[in-house]
Amino acid sequence: MAADSAADELITAVIVDDHVAITAGVRSWCSEAVPPIDLIDAGDRLADVWTGPGAAADVVIFDLELVPRRPDFGELRRLVDYGRRVVVYSQHIDDATAIKCVDLGALAYLTKREGPEHLVPAIRAAARGEPYTAPSLSGALVADDDPGRPRLSQRETEVLRAWFVSSSKELVAAKLNITAKTVDTYIARVRVKYANVGRAARSKSELVGRALDDGLITLAELNQKVTSL
């Protein structure tokens, strides 16, 4: 956890989730986080994300299924288009849903099996406008065989796979003989490549722009087309 100056500022997040137990759990994780994250509870009222204190929150923690078995991609799209930074927190574990959320412009996709060790970093990353890739999403990206998927290097695939499998960046680093920072770099590069394909969204283009500015990835690498294998 690299200390970031932006992370030291108080982050506010608003959670939309119809399960009070989830909200209570997330609230407790946020207050225990160092520094703590200020959490606003919108319950199952989407309006509270758009008006009142929720409208000013840095991050939206969004339950994809307020209506059971009907993932609300439309609302996610509206939030992202408005420029909100969204962390999708879903009970869905299927790969297609995860990848669709990323394609729509969500900065993080977490399953509810993933606890504070992933949710808190995901909220902090989203507050900075950066993506966070939890192991479950990493697994979805590895298993993605969509013809429109971006072309990943062998090392990037190895890192994604190891991160999904071990759920520990130290282990990935030890296994692949690289530093934990390099692990983050590879994962970030994958997300930039994904942000560069599919539907246009502000959060995605920001991500790509920043990655190019930082030299995380070059334009040539980014524009490599899908493998024709």
Contact residues: another protein, CB under 8 A: 93, 95, 113, 135-136, 139-140, 142-143, 161, 164-168, 170-171, 174-175
At closest approach, how far in Å is the CB of 46 from another protein? 30
Specify the residue, 111 or 203, whose C-beta has the smaller distance to another protein. 111
At closest approach, how far in Å is the CB of 117 from another protein? 12
Specify the residue, 13 or 172, whose C-beta has the smaller distance to another protein. 172
Q: What is the CA radius of gyration of the chain?
A: 17
Sheet containing 59-62, strands listed edge to edge, beginning at the edge strand earlier in sequence: 37-41, 11-16, 59-62, 85-90, 108-111
At closest approach, how far in Å is the CB of 196 from another protein? 23
Q: Are 190 and 133 in contact (CB under 8 A)?
A: yes
Whether cis (ω within 30° of 0) applies to the bond prior to 150 is: no
At closest approach, how far in Å is the CB of 45 from another protein? 32
As given in the structure block, the two tokens for residue 201 are: 């969204």
At closest approach, how far in Å is the CB of 25 from another protein? 16
Q: Are 38 and 125 in contact (CB under 8 A)?
A: no
Specify the residue, 78 or 175, whose C-beta has the smaller distance to another protein. 175
CA distance 76 to 31: 26
Specify the residue, 45 or 161, whose C-beta has the smaller distance to another protein. 161
CA distance 119 to 134: 9
Specify the residue, 71 or 135, whose C-beta has the smaller distance to another protein. 135
